[in-house]
Structure 1
Amino acid sequence: MGTRFEILINKSPQKTLNKLKDKDEKVAKIISDHIIKLEDDPYTPRSGTDIDHIKGSKPPGYRLRIGAQIRVEYNINSFNQTVTITRIHLTKRRKSDYKK
């Protein structure tokens, strides 16, 4: 097993997560569980974890998609073995998302 990454969460995404814990604890737990999985491998998509590189971002950023409505953006420092969560974004469903 390789080296584990340390997870750091910036102030803004931490506030989002704390607010979400008050509103919808189940969703907050799902997000937290996915963030914890980044300790093992923050680069590779796997079942239930859609990871994509954000093109043109400096430093190189990544996006973790959880379901249709949750995005977690983060940066990786491979030298220090850290993953820094920079943004948690919840999107609203559009009418086009619903089946007719």
Structure 2
Amino acid sequence: MKYTILVSRTFQKQFHSLENNVQVRIKSALKTLEGDPFHSRSGADIKKLSHTEPAKYRLRVGNYRIIYAVEHKTVKVIEVFKRGKGYKDL
């Protein structure tokens, strides 16, 4: 089952402010979500965030965290931030 990846405007703005090498790593990590956005594996450190409604997930890419939600067969990428900076608003 293949999932469609949709990115928010917030994510796009944050993504384009990152260095090129980080952007490449994030693009690669997002591709892995097309196959299975729920389970960790090599190249995809995924964790379900507690106390979020609807359920949100965190994908770790080095020192960066990508927050997303899954609805039907669509992965909605919400934001990307550097480790330790963005969990407050979830």
TM range (shorter): 0.7 to 0.9
Gaps of 5+ in 2: 85-90
Provide the rounded CA distance (Å) in 2 between the counterparts of 1:33 and 1:48. 9
TM-score (norm 1): 0.79
- Aligned-CA RMSD value: 1.2
Provide the rounded CA distance (Å) in 2 between the counterparts of 1:32 and 1:14. 12
The aligned residue for residue 70 of structure 2 is: 76
Provide the rounded CA distance (Å) in 2 between the counterparts of 1:57 and 1:47. 25
Gaps of 5+ in 1: 93-100
The aligned residue for residue 5 of structure 1 is: 3
Could you list the structure 1 runs, at least 4 aligned residues long, displaced by more than 6 angstroms after superposition. none
TM-score (norm 2): 0.87
Provide the rounded CA distance (Å) in 1 between the counterparts of 2:49 and 2:83. 18
- When Rg is computed on C-alpha atoms for both structures, the one with the higher figure is 1
Count of matched residue positions in the alignment of Structure 1 and Structure 2:
84
Provide the rounded CA distance (Å) in 1 between the counterparts of 2:83 and 2:57. 17
